[in-house]
Structure 1
């Protein structure tokens, strides 16, 4: 069952990609439990036809997986150095690319041993940090890390913030079901989000709200960190948000109203992500900025409270539930329409909520926002989640502001939200692999992008070979 805090607004994490860093870490945590914490050798196999051979190093799959094998959490400050820590712990890692035609592009095949016992695990990253374990020791399973499970004489502990509740009876699973249940009463979307999460996770109203307020505070701190300045060696873009803030203060930028603050906050969050700072995958790390930046910027301009921000983020989370259930947030499956498009839809609903709009206006804004981003490809330059990811987050946030105002003014979305999600999924099925986060198409294959990729590789090699070097720092 989809959870707002498990699947949509979260995890709180470090790294470039939730599909890579956070998901790999969760897989590693479960693998560690399977071995009782005693591991001396790990064989990791990736399908040559999937996304991971091209991205597991640059987008943090290795970092996350190794951190998970060490038992760390997704926001651990040591994560950038997890390969070194794993080696120091006496664990030998071997990575192979194999031709096995795995159905999912983000498939991890692990063989773990310690001289006494040996176990195998096959797991997939399904988007936004979510995972599914498909096989353990050759036996089919279906585990999402949301519950305590005993397998092969070992306990696999939960890796999700909201644990599974098999007895949960959800009030609705789709936007259409929600609208039918509301019956024209126009109960605010955020209120329905609370009802959903209370049923899904056996949580109280207060607990749901408090969890989201905590997330808002993490996000506001990350925005401030980004504007103050970040640095990291293995990145393409330097600190730019500070310059934007300076020009805003001087009044030299075009007067775009709340959009200027939104762009500033979007840039700041993306820079924190690229510097391995703490972010919230909302709904993913690659699209971590559009929703929180627009939500917090608009709320601040309207002099609204963190409670108001939390309610808006809850409304956004429920829109994400309606996407994650039938489809995905993973760019490896759906292109950037699955990440940036989803973020835009969620943000549009959040902004309508901040403005006191109706349930119909919030879902209509989400529909319009996603409609205008169908077909958006994922083509990260040098396999880093920076270019054109920054611009796509800005587009998503700008789209959200526009669609929120259109909905508030009474514009008709025409196509129901669930149908737009289905259309996006259909588009994804026809999208070539090269345009789904493999760095094999689009901007990633331009001459300049290829040059930047070579330069980053050379810089990383030089840093790794230097005496006393600490990879990642500047």
Structure 2
């Protein structure tokens, strides 16, 4: 049961999600998986058993990185922008939802695998399997004995019916007579039954769903609404999906660099350029608020680092810092976003939550230092988003798969392209700056301290911003990038897959130093004191 891979979206895959919490893969990914699972149940959910493979990354990090938080919020249909998401345990108890997490050895292939058994108040039980693929993106891969491919960008109709061979075509024809033609239809047989999964760009009327349930031979129906901001359709097409294709297009269609990002997303989402610009403007406002909120000072009990972003200004006034106002503005802006994130403030994962400071902090910090307009900052975001699309198409944003080079590293490459745009560079220079920045971070490990997305994440975000500015200046000065962007991305993906598991978002490297282990004991003790029991609530 296969379908063609649809093009990545700037707002789905790169600049987003808008959320609270420590990790986009863990919090947003878990929330989206749980949201779809919740939609699949006819009644209110009362019990969920979630298995993580002992050899995957979730076994060790699901508590500290926010998987438990995201999953509970998804089951409760609670937006991750809600200020009370960190109260998930209490709220789930009040909602009568019992969630149990088990660590088992069941041979999961992907490190972000979820195996779930869900029960609702009617006694209905469903079994799902899914993966979080990075940056909040997901894929539901199994429903009962059937393989599925559900990513949250379509209206999904799943019909289970008698699987006798002569009846298969009849069922599909009956469904189409009620719903109309689907954008995609996928069929899977198993255990004498047939699953017909029809994907639509538009919603299905409740009356149609009721009529479907009454069809003879139909034993179960599931209807799922999209959980991603940009929806998909059967006619989804984009003008370019690699840097090489973009530059070939640019040769024939000259525009300012940022306009290629706007044009791409308008094609991908089937919407107007004005709507795309409006959406990015909303995202920039959230990023600006995250910077300003962090600079105002943040407080939160369950974190390793306290507020530090204000220290840059004071040290600069006292003449303690190397005199470089734009860079120092970027450092404090990146720090401010990371502190907003660590205090459960609202941020934009761009491209991930662990790397959420690099891109916005660089664009906003540099923009303010140079007295650039909001419009110029927004233009930088569009170029960055396009670079991120090429990265997502050819690699991954999951540190569990590729280490921190695909999170802070990818954010640095995106920021480098944005800086070139903000300095008035061409699309060729933007692409080359991204390649240089990415070449500088190959092999970057993901080794979080204390099961928290704080250390060394803050420093790596700041490093990413500094690297972005240096790489942009190199290209603007006429340096040779040598390796084209697409080849650099492919090399990073190969390097990431070669990293030991311990250096891909688990307890390796800095995470298993003596000091880190002492911090881990403190954070685990704090969690156990606040929870009723370990692994469940």
TM interval, short-chain normalised: over 0.9
Does the CA-based 8 Å contact 1:42-1:93 persist in structure 2? yes
Q: Residue 188 of structure 1 aligns with which residue?
A: 256
DSSP-derived class of the 1:382 partner:
coil
RMSD between superposed Cα atoms in Å: 1.4
Of 262, 275, 278, which aligns to 2:343?
A: 275
Does the CA-based 8 Å contact 2:387-2:434 persist in structure 1? yes
Equivalent positions of 1:17-56 (< 5 A) are: 17-56=23-62
Q: Residue 128 of structure 1 aligns with which residue?
A: 135
> Quick check: 1:257 aligned with 2:317?
no
CA distance in 2, matches of 1:425, 1:131: 19
Q: For residue 166 of structure 1, report the CA deviation from its aligned partner.
A: 2.2
CA distance in 2, matches of 1:462, 1:35: 33
Of 282, 292, 309, which aligns to 1:241?
A: 309
> Which moved further from structure 2: 296-305 or 27-36?
296-305
Q: For residue 464 of structure 1, report the CA deviation from its aligned partner.
A: 4.3
CA distance in 1, matches of 2:101, 2:86: 18
CA distance in 2, matches of 1:184, 1:112: 53
Q: For residue 248 of structure 1, report the CA deviation from its aligned partner.
A: 3.1
DSSP-derived class of the 1:20 partner:
helix
> Which moved further from structure 2: 352-361 or 132-141?
132-141
CA distance in 2, matches of 1:377, 1:217: 31
CA distance in 1, matches of 2:8, 2:303: 33
Measured against aligned partners, the alpha-carbon deviations of 1:376-409 in whole angstroms (never above 9, x if no partner) come to: 0000001100110000001100000000111111
CA distance in 2, matches of 1:461, 1:57: 11
Alpha carbons of structure 1 residues 425 and 36: separation in structure 2 relative to 1, 3 Å: same
Of 373, 389, 394, which aligns to 2:457?
A: 389
Q: Residue 172 of structure 2 aligns with which residue?
A: none
Q: For residue 184 of structure 1, report the CA deviation from its aligned partner.
A: 7.0
Alpha carbons of structure 1 residues 63 and 339: separation in structure 2 relative to 1, 3 Å: same
DSSP-derived class of the 2:157 partner:
strand
Equivalent positions of 1:158-197 (< 5 A) are: 158-183=226-251, 187-197=255-265
CA distance in 2, matches of 1:61, 1:137: 23
Q: For residue 297 of structure 1, report the CA deviation from its aligned partner.
A: 1.3
Q: Residue 517 of structure 2 aligns with which residue?
A: 450
CA distance in 1, matches of 2:275, 2:124: 42
Equivalent positions of 1:341-352 (< 5 A) are: 341-352=409-420
DSSP-derived class of the 1:383 partner:
coil
Of 271, 279, 296, which aligns to 1:228?
A: 296
Who wins on radius of gyration, i.e. which is larger?
Answer: 2
Does the CA-based 8 Å contact 2:325-2:369 persist in structure 1? no
Of 96, 103, 124, which aligns to 1:97?
A: 103
CA distance in 2, matches of 1:89, 1:427: 45
DSSP-derived class of the 1:297 partner:
helix
> Quick check: 1:107 aligned with 2:113?
yes
Q: For residue 187 of structure 1, report the CA deviation from its aligned partner.
A: 2.9
User: Which of structure 1's runs of 4+ aligned residues deviate more than 4 A?
Assistant: none
CA distance in 1, matches of 2:410, 2:478: 22
> Quick check: 1:310 aligned with 2:378?
yes
CA distance in 2, matches of 1:298, 1:228: 19
> Quick check: 1:139 aligned with 2:146?
yes
Q: Residue 91 of structure 2 aligns with which residue?
A: 85
Q: For residue 99 of structure 1, report the CA deviation from its aligned partner.
A: 0.8
> Which moved further from structure 2: 426-435 or 109-118?
109-118
CA distance in 1, matches of 2:470, 2:364: 16
Does the CA-based 8 Å contact 2:244-2:486 persist in structure 1? yes
Unaligned runs of at least 5 residues, structure 2: 1-6, 159-219, 533-537
Q: Residue 156 of structure 2 aligns with which residue?
A: 149
TM-score (norm. length: structure 1): 0.96
DSSP-derived class of the 2:131 partner:
strand
> Quick check: 1:75 aligned with 2:75?
no
CA distance in 1, matches of 2:242, 2:265: 14
Unaligned runs of at least 5 residues, structure 1: 466-474
Equivalent positions of 1:357-376 (< 5 A) are: 357-376=425-444
Does the CA-based 8 Å contact 2:24-2:135 persist in structure 1? yes
CA distance in 2, matches of 1:242, 1:463: 31
Measured against aligned partners, the alpha-carbon deviations of 1:75-108 in whole angstroms (never above 9, x if no partner) come to: 1112111122111111111211111221110011
Q: For residue 454 of structure 1, report the CA deviation from its aligned partner.
A: 0.5
Alpha carbons of structure 1 residues 260 and 4: separation in structure 2 relative to 1, 3 Å: same
Of 261, 283, 286, which aligns to 2:354?
A: 286
Q: For residue 345 of structure 1, report the CA deviation from its aligned partner.
A: 0.4
DSSP-derived class of the 2:141 partner:
strand
Does the CA-based 8 Å contact 2:363-2:419 persist in structure 1? yes
DSSP-derived class of the 2:238 partner:
coil
Alpha carbons of structure 1 residues 462 and 189: separation in structure 2 relative to 1, 3 Å: same
Does the CA-based 8 Å contact 1:26-1:131 persist in structure 2? yes
Does the CA-based 8 Å contact 1:227-1:245 persist in structure 2? no
Q: For residue 183 of structure 1, report the CA deviation from its aligned partner.
A: 1.7
> Quick check: 1:460 aligned with 2:527?
yes
Q: For residue 237 of structure 1, report the CA deviation from its aligned partner.
A: 0.4
TM-score (norm. length: structure 2): 0.85
Does the CA-based 8 Å contact 2:326-2:370 persist in structure 1? no
